[in-house]
């Protein structure tokens, strides 16, 4: 049985330690926040497609590992960002595609991930690709050389979780503090 997106996020973040997490906007961020909150999490608000680019900049500018939890619609909206990440090729970047083949947050309208294999697209760019099914053992992705592209098929739809009760300034300020704190040690 294919996982719900919230189950996939739970399993992935359940095995993370010190990694910084950049999360796709909409329900994915709400789901992550409802599972566990952390200053290591950056919840994208509003800017569709930008999680992978923010993750790339972060991976290039400091040494900690960066895990981007992205969506198919957002990857497709900013495919150039994926190309740039592949060309820059930071070893500490893991892009996770939570692929439900639709824009789940806005009502599960189909994306072109329904007909185009984004794992194959990422592979052709030079990412080390790992494809998960129901057995989402994310430690396997963490053991790989980066940059990694982890393809995680998930069911369409969203969990019934509340909105994030942090404002944008709080999210960014505590995140920057977290990143700076570690780099200045």
Ligand X SMILES: Cc1ncc(C[n+]2csc(CCOP(=O)(O)OP(=O)(O)O)c2C)c(N)n1
Binding of ligand X by 79 (CB under 6 A): no
The SS3 assignment for 89 reads coil
**Residue 145 contacts residue 164 (beta carbons within 8 Å):** no
Residue 73 or 146 with smaller CB distance to Mg ion: 73
Pick the stretch among 14-22, 72-80, 84-92, 138-146 that binds ligand X (CB under 6 A). Answer: 72-80
Residues in Cβ contact with 35 at an 8 Å cutoff, skipping those fewer than 6 apart: 6, 9, 10, 13
Q: Which of residues 57-96 bind Mg ion (CB under 5 A)?
A: 71-73
Q: Is 151 helix (H, G, I), strand (E, B) or coil?
A: strand
CA 106 to chain centre: 18
Binding flag, residue 115, ligand X (CB under 6 A): no
Smallest gap from Cβ 34 to ligand X, in A, equals 14
For residue 153, report the phi and psi dihedrals to the nearest 5 degrees: -70, 135
Q: Is 125 in the site for ligand X (CB under 6 A)?
A: no
28 lines the binding site for Mg ion (CB under 5 A) = no
* Helix axes 51-61 and 79-88, enclosed angle (nearest 10): 20
- The whole-angstrom separation of Cα 94 and Cα 58 is 12
Question: Does residue 136 touch ligand X according to CB under 6 A?
Answer: no
Q: Using CA atoms, how far apart are residues 88 and 104, in angstroms rounded to an integer?
A: 30
Torsion on CA atoms 114, 120, 125, 128, rounded to nearest 10:
120
For residues 86-105, which are near ligand X according to CB under 6 A? 98, 100, 102-105
Binding mask 49-68 for ligand X (x = CB under 6 A): --------------------
73 touches ligand X by CB under 6 A: yes
CB of 90 to ligand X, least distance (A): 22
Does 172 engage in binding with ligand X (CB under 6 A)? no
The residue whose Cβ lies closest to ligand X is 71
- Reduced to 3 states (helix: H, G, I; strand: E, B; else coil), residue 123 is helix
Binding residues for Mg ion, per CB under 5 A? Answer: 71-73, 100
Query: What does the binding site for ligand X look like in residue numbers (CB under 6 A)?
Result: 5, 24-28, 46, 48, 71-74, 98, 100, 102-106
């Amino acid at each position: 049985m294919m996982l719900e997106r919230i189950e996939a996020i739970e399993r992935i973040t359940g095995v993370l330690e010190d990694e910084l997490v950049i999360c796709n906007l909409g329900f994915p961020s709400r789901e992550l926040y409802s599972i566990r909150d952390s200053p290591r999490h950056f919840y994208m608000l509003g800017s569709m497609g930008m999680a992978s680019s923010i993750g790339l900049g972060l991976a290039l500018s400091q040494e900690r590992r960066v895990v981007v939890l992205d969506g198919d619609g957002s990857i497709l909206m900013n495919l150039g960002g994926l190309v740039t990440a592949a060309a820059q090729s930071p070893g500490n970047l893991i892009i996770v595609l939570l692929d439900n083949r639709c824009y789940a947050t806005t009502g599960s309208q189909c994306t072109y991930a329904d007909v185009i294999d984004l794992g194959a697209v990422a592979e052709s760019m030079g990412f080390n690709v790992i494809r998960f099914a129901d057995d989402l053992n994310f430690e396997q992705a963490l053991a790989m050389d980066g940059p990694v592209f982890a393809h995680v098929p998930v069911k369409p739809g969203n969990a019934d979780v509340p909105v994030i009760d942090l404002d944008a300034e709080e999210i960014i300020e505590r995140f920057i503090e977290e990143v700076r704190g570690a780099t200045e040690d």
